[in-house]
Amino acid sequence: MPDWLSPAEWDALRLSLRVAFWATLVSLPPALLVAHALARWRFPGHGLLNGLVHLPLVLPPVVTGYVLLLTLGRRGFVGQYLDQWFGIVFAFRWTGAVVAAAVMAFPLMVRAIRLSVEAVDPKLEQAAGSLGASRPWVWATVTLPLILPGVIAGAILAFAKAMGEFGATITFVSNIPGETQTLPSAIYSFLQVPGGEGAAARLALVSVAVAMTALVASEFLARRATRRVQGR
C-alpha cells in the first residue's frame, strides 16, 4: 500500500479499478453485437436502438442512476424478481456500481467499435463467404482482426469512463465506504468534511494519472493493432 494513501483512499482506488475492470468486461460482448448491428444491419427500430444506446451520453447521470434504481432496485421492475428468485441484489452493492459504470461507458465502446466496423470493406467479408466460410467464421477471422484497433480503443476508453463515473453510481448504489465508494465518491466525501482537501487532492491526482494512462495506452495499442493488421 502506498505510504501517501490512507487505507480509506486505497480502498476507494482498489474498488474503482475492480468496478471499471468488470464494467468493461461485461460490456464488451454486447457492445460488439450492438455495434455490428448498427453498422451493418437495417431493421425496424434501428434508429430507436441507436438512440437508446447513446441516451446515457445526453441524460444527466443522476437520471440514469434513478432509472437503474427503479429497474434493478430491490423493489424495481426487474430487481424484485432477481432478488426473490435468484437472490441477486444490485442496489447498494459493488456489483451495482459495475452495472452503473457499464451503462455509462457502453455508448463510448459501441461508438468506437461501430466506426471500426463501418471502415471495413464488406467485399472482404463477401469474398471470404464466397469461399465457403460461415458467417461466424468470417466475423472471427476477417472482421474481428480488422476492427481490433477500435475494439481496444473502445474498451480502454470505457474503462477510463467507468473509473470516473459518479452521478449514476452514487444515485444507484449510494456512497458506502468499502462497498460502493469509488474514487469520485471518495473525493466528494472528503470535500464535505473539514480538512479533507488533502485527501481529495491526492485522489484527484490519482484519477488524472489513471485516465491519462488509459488514454495513452488506448492510442498506443490501437496504433500497434493497426500496424499488425496492415502487415507492417
2 has a pLDDT exceeding 70: no
Q: What is the pLDDT of residue 94?
A: 94
Residue of 153 and 72 predicted with greater confidence: 72
Residues in the chain: 232
pLDDT in tens, 140-178: 888 888 888 889 889 988 998 999 899 999 999 999 988
CATH numbers and ranges of domains, the chain = 7-230 (1.10.3720.10)
- CB burial string 4-21: b at 16+ within 10 A, e below: ebeebbebbbebbbebbe
Q: What is the mean pLDDT of the chain?
A: 88
Q: What is the pTM of this model?
A: 0.88
Residue of 183 and 225 predicted with greater confidence: 183
Q: DSSP of 66-120, one letter per residue?
A: HHHHHHHSTTSTTHHHIIIII----TTSHHHHHHHHHHHHHHHHHHHHHHHHHHS
Q: What is the pLDDT of residue 1?
A: 46
Q: What is the pLDDT of residue 225?
A: 65
Distance of CA 37 to the CA centre of its chain: 19
Q: What is the pLDDT of residue 70?
A: 94
Q: What is the pLDDT of residue 210?
A: 85
Beta strands in the chain (DSSP E): none
pLDDT in tens, 108-124: 999 999 988 988 888 88
218 has a pLDDT exceeding 60: yes
For residue 17, CA distances in Å to 56, 74, 82, 182 come to 21, 26, 26, 9
pLDDT confidence bin for 230, thresholds 50/70/90: low
Q: What is the pLDDT of residue 126?
A: 81
197 has a pLDDT exceeding 50: yes
pLDDT in tens, 13-70: 999 999 999 999 999 999 999 999 999 888 898 999 999 999 999 999 999 999 999 9
Distance CA 130, CA 126 (A): 6
Distance CA 75, CA 73 (A): 5
